[in-house]
Chains A and B, each alone.
Chain A
Amino acid sequence: MRILRLLLGCLLAVALSGCGRRDFAHEAAQRGILLLGNGSDPKALDPQLVASVGDSNIMRALFEGLVTYDPADDTKLEPGVAERWESNADHTEWTFHLRRSAKWSNGDPVTARDFLYSYQRILEPGLASPYASMLYILKGGKEYNEGKVTDFSQVGVKAPDDFTLVCTLSLPAAYFPQVVKHTSWLPVHRATIERFGKMTDRFTRWQRPGNHVSNGAFQLKSWRIYHSVTVEKNPLYWDAEKVSLREIHFFPYDTYTESRAFLGNRLHYTYTLPSELIHHSGGGKPEWLRTEPYYGSYFYRFHVERAPFDNPKVRLALTLAIDRQAIVESVTRANQEAAYGFTPPSQGGYVPPRLISFDPERARALLAEAGFTGGKGFPGFALLINTSEAHRAIAEAMQDMWRRHLGITSVRIENREWGTFQSQVIKQDYDAARAGWIADYLDPSTFLDMWRKGDSNNNTGWASPEYDRLLAEAAVQPTEAARFAKLQDAERILLTELPVLPLYWYTRTYWLRPEVKNWNSLLLDNHNYKHIRLEP
Chain B
Amino acid sequence: MNEVNSVRELQIVEAVPGTSLGQDAWRRLKRNRLAYACLWALGGILLLCSGGALLSWAGILPDPNATHLDRILAAPGDGYLLGSDALGRDVFARILFGGLVSIAVGVVATLVSVIIGVTYGAVAGYVGGRCDAVMMRFVDILYAMPFVILVIVLMSLFGMNLFWLFIAIGAVEWLTMARIVRGQVMSLKKQEFIEAARSLGLGHGSILFRHLIPNCLGPVIVYTTLTVPSVMRLEAVLSFLGMGVQPPNSSWGTLIKEGADRMTTSAGLLLFPAAAFALTLFCLNFLGDGLRDALDPKGSKD
Contact = CB atoms under 8 A, between A and B. Distances in A.
Interface in A242-277: 256, 274, 276-277
B262 A276 contact: yes
B56 interface: no
Interface stretch (B2-10, B15-23, B74-82, B240-248): B240-248
B246 A330 contact: no
A393 B254 CA distance: 12
Given A389-B258, A393-B87, A396-B67, A417 B246 contact: no
A397 B67 contact: yes
A280 B262 CA distance: 10
A168 B217 CA distance: 81
Contacts of A291: none
A7 interface: no
B160 interface: yes
A415 B242 CA distance: 8
B288 to A, nearest CB: 27
B88 interface: yes
B265 interface: yes
Given A276-B262, A282-B264, A413 B247 contact: yes
A330 B72 contact: yes
Contacts of A276: 86, 261-262, 264-266
Contacts of B243: 387
A214 B10 CA distance: 58
Interface string B40-68: 00000000000000000000000001110
Contacts of B160: 414-416
A331 B247 contact: no
B11 interface: no
A387 B242 contact: yes
Q: Identify which of B67, B72, B160 gathers the most chain A CB atoms within 10 Å of its CB.
A: B67
B156 interface: yes
Given A276-B86, A396-B87, A414 B246 contact: yes
A225 B192 CA distance: 63
A397 B261 contact: no
B67 A282 contact: no
B302 interface: no
A1 to B, nearest CB: 24
A133 B156 CA distance: 31
A280 B265 contact: yes
A256 B86 CA distance: 17
Given A276-B262, A387-B242, A399 B248 contact: yes
Given A280-B265, A330-B72, A415-B160, A395 B247 contact: yes
Interface in B170-220: none
A256 B67 contact: no
Nearest to B242: A387
A420 interface: yes
A433 B66 CA distance: 22
B269 to A, nearest CB: 10
B233 to A, nearest CB: 20
Interface string A273-302: 010110110110000000000000000000
Interface in A326-362: 326-327, 329-331
Contact of B65 (A327, A330, A393, A400): A400
Contacts of A331: 69, 86-87
Contacts of A416: 156, 160
A366 to B, nearest CB: 23
A400 B67 contact: yes
B264 A283 contact: yes
Interface string A364-392: 00000000000000000000000111001
A420 B156 contact: yes
Given A256-B261, A397-B69, A414-B160, A330 B247 contact: no
B157 to A, nearest CB: 11
Most B CB contacts (10 A, CB to CB) among A330, A331, A395, A417 go to A330
B87 A397 contact: yes
A427 to B, nearest CB: 15
Nearest to B269: A276
A393 B66 CA distance: 13
A390 to B, nearest CB: 10
Contact of B265 (A277, A330, A389, A400): A277
A396 B88 CA distance: 11
A392 B265 contact: no
Interface in A392-411: 392-393, 395-397, 399-400
A146 B71 CA distance: 54
Q: Which of A326, A395, A400, A420 has the most CB of B within 10 A?
A: A400
B64 to A, nearest CB: 11
B83 to A, nearest CB: 14
A327 B248 CA distance: 16
B248 A396 contact: yes
Contacts of A415: 160, 242, 246-247
B242 A388 contact: yes
B8 to A, nearest CB: 25
A433 to B, nearest CB: 15
Nearest to A411: B248
Nearest to A420: B156
B154 to A, nearest CB: 14
A198 interface: no
Interface in B226-257: 241-243, 246-248
A387 B246 CA distance: 11
A11 to B, nearest CB: 22
B35 to A, nearest CB: 28
A412 interface: yes
B225 to A, nearest CB: 30
A277 B265 CA distance: 8
B128 to A, nearest CB: 43
A420 B242 CA distance: 14
Interface in B246-287: 246-248, 258, 261-262, 264-266
A288 to B, nearest CB: 15
Interface of A: 256, 274, 276-277, 279-280, 282-283, 323, 326-327, 329-331, 387-389, 392-393, 395-397, 399-400, 412-417, 420
6 contacts: A256-B261, A277-B265, A326-B70, A393-B87, A397-B87, A413-B246
Given A280-B264, A323-B69, A331-B69, 11 more contacts: A282-B264, A327-B69, A389-B258, A389-B261, A393-B86, A396-B67, A397-B67, A400-B67, A400-B87, A415-B247, A416-B160
- Which 7 A-B pairs have CB atoms at the shortest separation, nearest pair first? A387-B242, A330-B69, A282-B264, A280-B265, A400-B67, A326-B69, A276-B265
